[in-house]
Amino acid sequence: MQYLLGNEAVAHACLEANIDFASGYPGTPSSEVIDILRSQEKRGFYVEWATNEKVAYENALAAAWCGVRALFTTKHVGLNVAADPLMTSAYTGVTGGFVVLSADDPFAHSSQNEQDSRCYAQFARVPCLDPASVQEAHDMIRDAFSLSEEFGLPVIFRPTTRICHSKSDVDLGTVGDEHRVGEFCRDPKQYVVIPAHTRVLHRLLNEKQPAIKKRLVELGYNTAEVRGKTAIIASGVAASYVQEVIGADVSFAKIGAYPIDEDWLRTFVDAHTRILVVEELAPVVEEAVRQVATTTEVFGKMTGTVPYEGELSPAAVAAAMATAGFSPTQSFPAQRAPAAVAPRPPILCAGCSHRSTFYAMRKVFKDGIFPSDIGCYTLGLQLGGVDTTICMGASITVGSGIKQSGEERDVVCTIGDSTFLHTGIPGLLSAVYNGANMTVVILDNRITAMTGHQPNPNTGITAMGTESTPISLDAICRACGVSFVETVDPYDLPLLLATFRQAKEKDGVRVIIAKQPCVITARRAGIKRKPYAVDPERCTGCGVCRSFGCPAIAFADEKAWVTDLCAGCGVCADICPSGAIHREGR
Amino acid sequence: MNGSFDILIVGIGGQGTVLASNVLGEACIREGRPVRSAETHGMAQRGGSVESHVRIDGRYGSLIAPGCADLLIAFDLLEALRYRHYLPEGGRLVTNRRFVTPTSVYMQKQTVPDEAEILAALGDLDLTCIDAAVIASEAGSPLSQNIVMLGGASRFMPLAAETLLAAVRACVPPKTVAINERAFSLGRDAAGRC
């Protein structure tokens, strides 16, 4: 037994399954799986971080075409980016086991929406496994590879945040060391999806469905126990919440795999007069239940009994049970969070270089519009530097759209280095091509920080720790046709302000690359900067530094002081109008 | 109830709530008991309010419902106030005496209660208050505050102190074992004096 994070258990199961190839793009709550795989001391397999999910999916798919066991990891919204190859890879199929790990995020703890990856499985007609516990997540991954090989199809594995980032005692198997070597067998009828081939492949995919359903029942991931005339059917982690509060005289069915066999489901549904369906996100199980139900009364999202939004909990399940006339075995007190406790939202770190970039941007472009993107810097919202975010890469495209719509105010986009390489480049190219008039700021901290400091092509190192070919963001921008490209150190506030002013005077697409390593990685690399301090004699308590929003600046008795969080970036010293902030020891 | 002992650990991202929950989980493994826990990762971490749910003898999900925690451990006094509703009336709270004022308070010129006001607002609970910063410095490093708090709370957990101490040794960085052992013991002593 070991006490493991869900994602650690999943990674371990991949090792037990003799995985040969792993590719993904970081995204909470999925990132730790590849981080753990790549940090294995003895590694007999290939692992990479790709530039985006479409790239990662296609890399892993091709490996599975060569007969090796491949894993693709993403967060739910990344599956949108990989949806193009996903849909057609169900037609082509695979020869080696191919597992598509798409981690969903009910309650959007760290995401821009609450979409449900099970819908993609249904859409693409591929099997989907949906674990209810950390142990089951581990066990399912082992089966997922053989299931994929048995049916020659990608298998979607969709844990949710409360699986990925929950910990549990887990029973592990033995790590394998038998690895395959890829070999591509030419077969245009399978791998070249021209219309004549794809029509046949589509029929073959549909013909596989009945056998898949039967097999999933045999595997035991869809189980049912008849204990009375009423029943609860639950899926994924919600099933474990139901088990906590369900009475002994209420039947229980647990759905862990899709597509659900209709005959199996009908037998269970028909044995009951009333059924409550409990699942997070989309009503996938509920729709299946309603399709087979004839006289049974069904409660779920469609009756307003279970919420469509957010995540469930034992208390939420008990409330749904009470509404549907089922008696939960536990009652939960109606405790309210105390009102009016000063909120403590996440915030850019002390010494984060993004803070000074946002400060300078707003100082120069007072009337500007600020489309932004997905990363730590989305927290620039608190600094008034973020007006839009929608998905990865959508700062430059949204900025271009706003400008071309006729909006006359200046548009300044912010995008991180990893996000720029992910999907920012096509937007930049299109903006230049179509003559947009805007400024793009690449927040270049040399790493994919938000998700846990994964390397990207800009970092200079691969997931496996080998040095990579250096790339140049400056050269990429110039190759896209941008003539104004300036790289500045965002800790140098006067230069940063001057560069923004320069950009403001120019026409066309202007790019500023604000380059400074992430303060966390810099600290880990041993870079030390002397902290700053406030001279209380000179501090007038004006509060200008307060509006800078650095967590290392506190106030007491109408005077500012610098706390021990200070990372020594020194930008506050440039901001202070009284010259009261200086490097310690001076 | 289903027999689990439910502990909610709250604090600020970076204070080591995850390490503290790892110690509890490791202790459960060493005593051969099932355990479930849930923690905060990703976007929500950066200096924000964070929570770790730990369910000793837990067999189902990892989430603790408001009003149902058997023990609340707060690494920051203001966070104790924010999460107190996870305890039932008169429930047990082990909290750090100090708190960090949220940066947003300075930026938006909000007011926060002082230490005495927060303690008064928590007065109806079964309260153990520890000055973790002072004790951690005494132990040898201000970074050991999380283990000080765990030591203090260990008096109220269904886990043997020796198991917890062994789990501390297993979970903290090897170079800091001696400091954290001291932190645990000093925290436990401090809670005994309250």
d(CA A470, CA A481): 21
Cβ atoms within 10 Å of A333's Cβ, excluding its own? 13
> pLDDT value at position B1?
45
Which residues of A are less than 8 Å from B21 in CB distance? 167
Which residues of B are less than 8 Å from A343 in CB distance? 49, 102, 104
State residue A74 phi and psi, 5-degree precision: -160, 165
A30 at the B interface (CB within 8 A)? no
ipTM of predicted assembly, 2 dp: 0.95
Is residue A83 classed exposed, middle or buried when 0-12, 13-18 and 19+ CB atoms within 10 A define those classes? Answer: middle
Are A82 and A8 within one domain?
yes
Is position A310 within any domain?
yes
CATH label of the domain that carries residue A538: 3.30.70.20
Nearest to B44 among A167, A169, A346 (CB): A346
- Measure in Å the smallest separation between the Cα of A245 and chain B Cα atoms: 9
Are A516 and A541 within one domain?
no
Which residues lie across from A524 on neighbouring strands? none
Interchain proximity A333–B88, CB inside 8 Å? yes
Interchain proximity B42–A333, CB inside 8 Å? no
Q: How many domains, chain A?
A: 4
A549 at the B interface (CB within 8 A)? yes
Nearest to B34 among A169, A237, A333 (CB): A169
d(CA A246, CA A326): 9
> pLDDT value at position A94?
98
Are A372 and A486 within one domain?
yes
- Measure in Å the smallest separation between the Cα of B152 and chain A Cα atoms: 23
Which residues of B are less than 8 Å from A348 in CB distance? 46
Is position A341 within any domain?
no
Is position A345 within any domain?
no
Q: Confidence band (pLDDT; 50, 70, 90) for A373?
A: very high
pLDDT at A267 over 50: yes
pLDDT at A183 over 90: yes
Side chain identity at residue A377, one-letter code: Y
Helix %, strand %, coil % of chain B (to 5): 50, 20, 35
Nearest to A341 among B32, B46, B82 (CB): B82
- Give the residue carrying structure tokens 């020891």: A585
Q: Which of A323, A343, A370 is the last residue of a domain?
A: A323
Are A383 and A494 within one domain?
yes
Interchain proximity B46–A166, CB inside 8 Å? no
Q: What is the dihedral of CA A212, A217, A218, A223, to 10 degrees?
A: 160
CATH label of the domain that carries residue B78: 3.40.920.10
Are A163 and A94 within one domain?
yes
Tokens of B107: 């930026």
- Measure in Å the smallest separation between the Cα of B24 and chain A Cα atoms: 10
Nearest to A169 among B35, B43, B48 (CB): B35
Interchain proximity B44–A169, CB inside 8 Å? no
Interchain proximity A341–B86, CB inside 8 Å? no
Count of A–B CB contacts within 8 Å? 166
- List A residues 100-129 in contact with B (Cβ-Cβ < 8 A): 109-110
Are A423 and A543 within one domain?
no
Is residue A312 classed exposed, middle or buried when 0-12, 13-18 and 19+ CB atoms within 10 A define those classes? Answer: buried
Are A410 and A478 within one domain?
yes
| Cα torsion angle, A293, A296, A302, A307, sign | negative
- Measure in Å the smallest separation between the Cα of A332 and chain B Cα atoms: 7
Cβ atoms within 10 Å of B135's Cβ, excluding its own? 25
Nearest to A153 by CA among A189, A194, A121: A121
A240 at the B interface (CB within 8 A)? yes
Interchain proximity A313–B63, CB inside 8 Å? yes
Which residues have CB under 8 Å from A553's CB, separation 6+? Answer: A545, A546, A560, A561, A562, A563, A572, B103, B106
3-class SS letters over A375-406: CHHHHHHHHCCCCECCCCCHHHHHHHHHHHCC
Are A160 and A260 within one domain?
no
Interchain proximity A344–B78, CB inside 8 Å? yes
| Cα torsion angle, B23, B27, B32, B37, sign | negative
Is position A342 within any domain?
no
Q: Which of A173, A193, A218 is the last residue of a domain?
A: A218
d(CA A545, CA B185): 41
Which residues of A are less than 8 Å from B104 in CB distance? 342-345, 347, 382
Interchain proximity B38–A341, CB inside 8 Å? no
CATH label of the domain that carries residue A243: 3.40.50
d(CA A79, CA A84): 9
Is position A340 within any domain?
no
CATH label of the domain that carries residue A72: 3.40.50.970
Cβ atoms of B163 and B31 closer than 8 Å: yes
Range of the domain at A539: 532-583
Cβ atoms of A144 and A97 closer than 8 Å: yes
State residue A383 phi and psi, 5-degree precision: -100, 10
> pLDDT value at position A171?
97
Nearest to B66 among A335, A379, A547 (CB): A335
Interchain proximity A167–B103, CB inside 8 Å? no
Tokens of B83: 């999460």
> pLDDT value at position B47?
85
A453: number of CA atoms within 13 Å, CB side? 9
A452 secondary structure, DSSP code: T
Cβ atoms of A74 and A102 closer than 8 Å: yes
Which residues of B are less than 8 Å from A169 in CB distance? 25, 28-29, 33-35
Interchain proximity B28–A3, CB inside 8 Å? yes
Q: Which of A193, A218, A243 is the last residue of a domain?
A: A218
Which residues of B are less than 8 Å from A241 in CB distance? 60-61, 63
Are A472 and A362 within one domain?
yes
Is position A140 within any domain?
yes
Is position A175 within any domain?
yes
Which residues of B are less than 8 Å from A237 in CB distance? 61
d(CA A255, CA A262): 12
> pLDDT value at position B2?
57
Nearest to A165 among B22, B32, B38 (CB): B38
Interchain proximity B60–A244, CB inside 8 Å? yes
Identify the H or E element spanning B137. Answer: helix B132-139
What's the pTM? 0.97
Are A551 and A501 within one domain?
no
Identify the H or E element spanning B37. Answer: strand B35-38
Are A407 and A267 within one domain?
no
Tens digits of residue pLDDT in A509-567: 999 999 999 999 999 999 999 999 999 999 999 999 988 999 999 988 889 999 999 99
Is position A94 within any domain?
yes
Locate the chain B residue with the closest alpha carbon to A315: B65
If you average pLDDT over residues A301-326, what whole number do you get?
A: 97
Range of the domain at B15: 5-193
Locate the chain B residue with the closest alpha carbon to A564: B142
A75 secondary structure, DSSP code: E
Interchain proximity B40–A165, CB inside 8 Å? yes
- Give the residue carrying structure tokens 């600290």: A523
pLDDT tens track of chain B, all 194 residues?
458 999 999 999 989 999 999 999 999 999 999 999 998 776 656 789 999 999 999 999 999 999 999 999 999 999 999 999 999 999 999 999 999 999 988 888 788 899 999 999 999 999 999 999 999 999 999 999 999 999 999 999 999 999 999 999 999 999 999 999 999 999 999 998 87
Q: How many domains, chain B?
A: 1
Tens digits of residue pLDDT in A41-58: 889 999 999 999 999 999
Interchain proximity A315–B106, CB inside 8 Å? no
Which residues of B are less than 8 Å from A553 in CB distance? 103, 106
> pLDDT value at position B44?
58
Interchain proximity B107–A382, CB inside 8 Å? yes
A351 at the B interface (CB within 8 A)? no
Are A93 and A71 within one domain?
yes
